[in-house]
Each structure stands twice: as structure tokens, then as C-alpha cells.
Amino acid sequence: MSVKIALAGNPNSGKTTLFNALTGSNQYVGNWPGVTVEKKEGKLKGHKDIIITDLPGIYSLSPYTLEEVVARNYLIKEYPDAIINIIDGTNIERNLYLSTQLIELGIPVIMAVNMMDLVKKNGDKIDIKNLSNALGCEVVEISALKGTGIDEVKEKAVAAAQKKVQNKRVHSFDQAVEDAIDSVSAKLTVEERKKRFFAIKLLEKDTKIAEQMDSVPDCKDEIKALEDKFDDDTESIITSERYAYISSIIGKCVKKNTKGEKLTTSDKIDKIVTNRILALPIFIIVMWLVYYIAMSTVGAWCTDWTNDNLFGDGFHLFGIGSKDYEEASGDYDAATNALDAYGVLVTDDEDAIDVDATKAAIEANTNTEASVKYQMEDEETLDTYDIDVYYSEVPAGAKKDKTNAMSYLDAVEYFNKTEMAEIDPADYGVFVPSIPDLAERGLDKIGCADWLKGLILDGIIAGVGAVLGFVPQMLVLFILLAILEYCGYMARIAFIMDRIFRKFGLSGKSFIPILVGVGCGVPGIMASRTIENEKDRRMTVMTTTFIPCGAKVPFIAMIAGAIFGGSSLVATSAYFIGIAAIICSGIILKKTKMFAGDPAPFVMELPPYHIPTIGSVLRSMWERGWSFIKKAGTIILLSTIFVWFTTYFGILDGKFQMLSEDQIDHSILAKIGGAICWIFKPQGWGDWQATVASITGLVAKENIVGTMGILYGGGEGTVYSELAKAFTTASGFSFLVFNLLCAPCFAAMGAIKREMNSAKWFWFAIGYQCGFAYLVSLVIYRIAGLFTGACSFGIGTVVAILIIVAFFFLLFRPDPNKKVKTSKEFLNA
């Protein structure tokens, strides 16, 4: 049988970092039986038969939150062979409260005092030997972040688990309390080693502990005797006894550096980043930097290279031969420009400068400096620019960047030599063909049928490739988010947003699911289980997916790149539009009877700042990135096959057949999209392609990119150029916002259904999300379109104005459910 070791500790004590260090990549994630709290397990590195279970972060074994219930039930029912209790050495007093309860379970406990590097840096001292004696368990100094002390903890935990010798109890409460515990213990029928824990919980009036017992003894007399003696309830009495014990331990084992009572580095930083005035601007700047690096610089460079080379034209390995290729292609382009310029002249283009005089001079061959200025259009950016072309020779002093050194006759001679062949990069150096090119060559070699070739190239590779092309951008974003998380700033964001949320009657607890939802909406929705207030929890479930998750990042990047020139402001605005939607929805919903009530209290530990380790950041990035890649290989693959089939097959001339590029308006998908695209006409993007992309996004948000890769990738230009033609800036932003705020993917919908536990509430949530997204996107197009010229003033504009008026009314109206105190009630209060 395998050995089971539980890892327990407070939130932000470094538990996850230690878990990753102990298990490495041998991890598997699921849900605890019957609940949606995440369950993480892994095999101890170097030990195939030892399972480490990472319990949810908890402050005690009392049944106040779902996490505490889950952790306690596991420890009581599964009864692991040992517990590794990780505590934050910089905040040892609060962490020891849980430790005293774990020791009472009768399970061998190994205590790992984490962040000892920070303890020493602060000038504090912890006497590990005395601490071990005072608690009656093994204690080890560690730094989970730096990896020190991990091996010692591992060895001691394995030894304790194999020996199964429980810790000696070295502490007793007040004699009256001990007498009550002994009296209740005598009535219990549980195992001897569990009796003390169960007796204490019964004295604390823990009603849920009865679920773990076959029979519950009557202990009213013991409770009454204690409450009469101490003039307090028994839970407070035992809590007070625990802290008295902890205080005695701290006095003996911990020495704080009190020289000048100087602020710690974390305190100094927090005076700035959590400042009432500066906190929000700093948060905005930080998030802009994150999206700027991920979307416009490093991430964009990586994604552009992937799209242009791996899924585009191929590349020269390590640049070998690229210089010769560039020179040869430069000559080819020069010859092409010369012929194009001559073509402009002979067609008498009225836009060309001095056409008649230049043409006459060339024909007479009397002017060696004859030139013409003509316009070229760049296929990628659609920008038009002027180029001066000299037909005979380059005159002295001519601008090199605007001078074509090749004459028309030279151009003809060049093309005669090369037989008009376009320069092939594979002829120069070590050239690696792109994935589509390799696939096409292989399919041609085996004589693949046209329909199957189309499915693989235009369906699977075009669709899945369009999604995978954005993986580098996503990985950069995940790295930056992991850095913010591990350094401790993410916890500060929750603190900052709690201050803002509370002003609007919302709970800061609602922001924790939002932070989690940045990675994926499913765990974000599940994280709402920590909110005790049912109304706040439902509202959080409804609005959490407004925040852009990892799956929406490729879509945001595509729209920003194709329509807004890759602007980082578009990606940043998507994040803050999500937050604004959550806040505004919260304010409006809180004023309805369904969600009325005081916000749930919010208490959160602010961990000290750390410098994240490369390993922890890369591990976090890989976990999120691999999850995305797996989805691309399953859900998105199947979706792109469906999209391709319904795009390239349809009824034409009374027959069901495969269609060519110029016939897809007769396809199955075109008919489906055409039947419902009128719904989005007011938003400015009511064509069937955009409508279908939005629908496939309900399966998985990455599907929007894959669908667009198929539907907009079949023209003469690139997907980006085709999107730029199909959307204006106003309709493009409207399309972006609608798909950010509308109902999430099927997986997230499933999580909403489970959390709501009601078909009525589920459909209300989905309806609210879609309705809210529709109205916001309509307002954006109709108002922005007036300024950009995309649309004129009309009925749609009037509707948008009415929506804005109604929105501000609902936002600022007095809360009808808030009772106004009378003067007498006010005085009494």
C-alpha cells in the first residue's frame, strides 16, 4: 500500500511552492469528492509509493469555510500517515494556531518553518530546538522558494510516516478544561488517538463533527460547567487557551529584532503600492506593462515569428543563407517594381506625376534621369506610399531608399535570365519549410484526395495553427502573471480592489475568483465557494468570467494586431473593461431584491514580498500553457474540423457538393450564420462569418481565432488583412467586447451550473451575460462609429443613448432595499 503524507498550512505560507518542490512534475489535479474545491496530489520525488496531498490553505480546523471542512474531513477520514505542517516564520504566532490543532489529531506531524531567509534578513531569531520541544514534534528550517531544507523535511516526513508513531503531547490546557476534555473523551467510541480532537470539537459546539461519528455523546454538562466557570462560551474559552499556549511558545522560542522598530522592506513597498491615492494608478500601470510586454513587444515578436515562419513561409535555420536570399529577392523586387512602374506609365495613370513628359522622354531615350512617382499598396498593412523609379541609371545625389537602380530594359533582361521565377528561399542556405508547406508536399506525394487535403490544410492546420500561433504570446503573459503572483503583488491587488469594491457595497472576496479567473474561468468560478454569503456568491459566479481568461488572449491579440496595429492599449482595455463590467454589474444587481444585503467580510493575509525563483515561474507558465495546448489538440481540433466541413460543403445547383473558395457563401455554415447574423447588424459586424465565429467561441473561446483562420484565411491576403477589410475600428472593438463579456465556454458554463445548483439561476446567469454583452457592444459601435465615421446618426444611435441613460440611472439610483434609519434609531445606534 502507498504511504500518504498530507501537506497543510495557512494561505500564503508557501505551501504550493513546497508541494511543487516535493513532487516536481509528478502531479495530478482533480476535485475533492462531492465538491468543486481543487484537489492536488503528487508522488514524492524519488518515491513512487509515497503520495503527497496538498490540502487547501486554511487557518484552522473549524468548519467556517468549505476549504476547512474539506481539509478536516480528509484528515479524519483518510487519516494520512504523516502531516507536513508548513508555517510562515515571519508570522509564526498566527500560523501556530493551526499547528496546535493538527498535533491533536494523533497523526505524526513534521513542522517546516518556511521563509527562514526572510526571518534572518529581518534580524529575528527562532530557536528551532526549543520550538520542537515546546510542540512535541520535529521542526525543520526551510526556504521553499530557494529550495533549502527541502531534503531534510522529506526525509523526516518519510521516516515519521513509516514509523507511524504519533507526537507526544507536551501541553495541557487549564485544569478545568482538561477535566472536561477527559470527561467527554471517556464517552467517545472513536479510536483512542482521535479522542482528544473529537472531544475538543464537541466542547466547541462544532455541529459538523457529528457527521464523522457513529454516535454523539451528550456533553451539555461539561459545556455548562466550563461556561459557568469562565463566563464565556466554550469555543472562545478553548481559543483563548490555545493563544495562551502559543504566547508562551513565542516568548521562549522567538526573538524579534526591535532595534529602532524599523519597517521591513515589504512594509516600505506597501506604503507606496497600497497607498489610498497611488494604489490604483500603480495597478493600472502594472497591468498595462504586463499586456504591453505580452501583446506588443516580446510576446508579439515571438507570435509574429511563429505565424510568419512556423505557420507561414518557413525560415532559414539560425539565419544560414538568409543574407544571400535577401539580396536575390531584393533584385527580384527591383525588377518587379521597374516593370510595374512602366505599366503605370503605359496605362496613362492620371495620378502619376508628369506622365506625358516622362513617357515621351523614355520613348525618345534622350533623358537618362527620367522618373515617375507611383503608388504601391503594402499587402500586410494596406498602407500606400510613393516610390521614385529611375528607368536608366541612378543620378548622383538621388535618395537611395526611393531610387530603383534597375531600368525597364534591365528588368526585362533579368526576368529572361531567371525565366520569371520568383525567388525560392529554399535555394539558399539551410531552409526549414513551414508546417503547412511540409503538410502540402506530403499530401501531394501520396496523391491525397482534394477534400482530405482541404480538410487538413484549410481546416485543421489553418484553424488549430491560427490558435497555436498565439501560444508564445500566452506563455509570456503567463510568465508575467506568475511573477506578480509569486512576488506577492497579486495579494495586494485583492486588498486594493477590496477597498474599491466595498465602496460600492461589494465584497473584496469576490475579487479572489476574478484573480484566479485570469488564468481560466473554471477555477475562478469554483473559487467563489469561499464566499459564505449566498447572494454575493451567486453574483460573483455570474460576473467572474467578464475578466479576460487565458483562452481569450489569442482572440484579443488577433483583433489588436489586425485592426489596431498591435496596440497594447487594446489588450489592457480588455482587462479593465472586464473589471468595470464586474463592478457596474455588482452595483446594479446589489440594488435588486435578489442580491440585496451587506457584503461578506473580507480578511486576507498579505505575504511578504519575494523574488520569484525561475523554476516556480516556469512551472506555473508550463501548467497553464500545457492546459491550453491540450485543449487545442482536442476541443479546438474537433471544432475546426466541423467549421471546415460546414464551410466548404453546401448545396449548389441543387446538389450537395464540395465548394471552392469563391462559393462558400452557399455553404452550410453560411446558411446558418446568414439566418441569425441580422441580430448583430446594430453592432456593425452582422455578417455570417463574424456571427459564426462568436457561436463557435461558446465551445471554447480559442475557437474564435481558429474559425477566423478558416473563414478569413482563404482570400488573396493574410487573415489580418482580410479582418482589416471586414471590420472598422468601431465594429472591431464592438466585436471584441461582445465576445469578452458574453457567455463563457461550455466548460465554464458547466461550472456555473454546478455552482448555482439550479437551472433557473443558471439560465438567468447566461442570459444576463449575453444581454449585458449585447447592449455594451451596441453602445460602443453606435457612439464610437459617430466619431470614426463608421455609422451615421440614426435609430441605432438613439437606442444607444437611451441605453446609456438607463445604465446611469440604475447605477446611481438610491438603493431601494436599504432601510433609512429614523432619528430615534440613529440616536440609539
pLDDT in tens, 593-625: 888 776 666 666 677 787 887 877 888 788 777
Residue 315, beta-bridge partner list: 432
pLDDT at residue 395, as a whole number: 45
Statement: residue 782 has pLDDT above 80? yes
Q: Choose between 747 and 61: higher pLDDT.
A: 61
Lowest mean pLDDT segment, chosen from 36-45, 695-704, 734-743 = 36-45
State phi, psi for 431 to the nearest 5 degrees: -105, 130
Percent of the chain with pLDDT over 90: 9
Distance of CA 613 to the CA centre of its chain: 20
Specify the higher pLDDT residue, 283 or 350: 283
Cα-Cα-Cα-Cα dihedral sign, residues 205, 207, 211, 217: positive
Q: Tell me the three cell numbers of residue 432.
A: 526549414
Considering the chain, what is the average pLDDT of its residues? 79
- Binned at pLDDT 50, 70 and 90, residue 289 comes out as confident
pLDDT at residue 450 is higher than 90: no
- What pLDDT sits at residue 378? 41
pLDDT digits 0-9 by tens, 201-227 = 888 888 788 777 778 888 888 888 888
Kindly give, in sequence order, each residue whose CB lies less than 8 Å from that of residue 181, ignoring residues fewer than 6 positions away. Answer: 173, 196, 199, 200, 203
DSSP assignment string, 409-442: HHHHHHHHHHTTPPPPGGGSSSEE--HHHHHHHH
Task: Choose between 806 and 215: higher pLDDT.
Answer: 806
The pLDDT of residue 733 is: 92
Three cell numbers, residue 401: 531608399
Check residue 191 and give its pLDDT.
Answer: 82
Classify 15 as helix, strand or coil. Answer: helix
Q: What is the mean pLDDT of residues 92-102?
A: 88
The predicted model gives 153-164 an average pLDDT of: 88
What pLDDT shows up at residue 110?
Answer: 92
Separation CA 790–CA 797 (nearest Å): 12
Give the number of residues written for the chain.
829
Tell whether the model's pLDDT for residue 522 goes beyond 50. yes
Residue 740's pLDDT band, with cuts at 50, 70 and 90, is: very high
> Rounded to the nearest 10 degrees, how much is the dihedral formed by the CA atoms of 363, 368, 370, 376?
100
Predicted confidence (pLDDT) per residue in 234-273, tens digit: 888 888 888 888 888 888 888 887 665 567 778 888 888 8
Task: Inform me whether the pLDDT recorded for 100 exceeds 80.
Answer: yes
Q: What's the pLDDT at 373?
A: 41
Q: Averaged over 344-353, what is the pLDDT?
A: 43
Strand runs (DSSP E) across 133-204, as ranges?
A: 138-141
Q: Looking at residue 294, what DSSP letter applies?
A: I
Q: Which residues neighbour 412 within 8 Å (Cβ) at sequence distance 6 or greater? A: 339
Query: Taking residues 525-537, what's their average pLDDT?
Result: 75
Phi, psi of 743 (to 5 degrees): -50, 140
Residue 780 has pLDDT above 90, yes or no: yes
Pick the more confident residue, 467 or 808: 808
CB 262 within 8 A of CB 271: no
The pTM is what? 0.64
Confidence at residue 350, expressed as pLDDT on a 0 to 100 scale: 45
What does the pLDDT read at residue 599? 66
Q: What are the tens digits of pLDDT across the range 457-503? A: 877 887 777 777 778 877 888 888 888 888 888 778 777 877 777 76
The reported pLDDT for the residue numbered 370 is: 39
Give tens-digit pLDDT for 166-190.
777 778 888 888 889 889 888 888 8
771 confidence band (pLDDT: 50, 70, 90):
very high
Give the tens place of pLDDT for each residue, 119-136: 888 788 889 999 888 888
Ordered structural domains, the chain, with CATH:
3-163 (3.40.50.300), 175-255 (1.10.287.1770), 326-427 (no CATH)
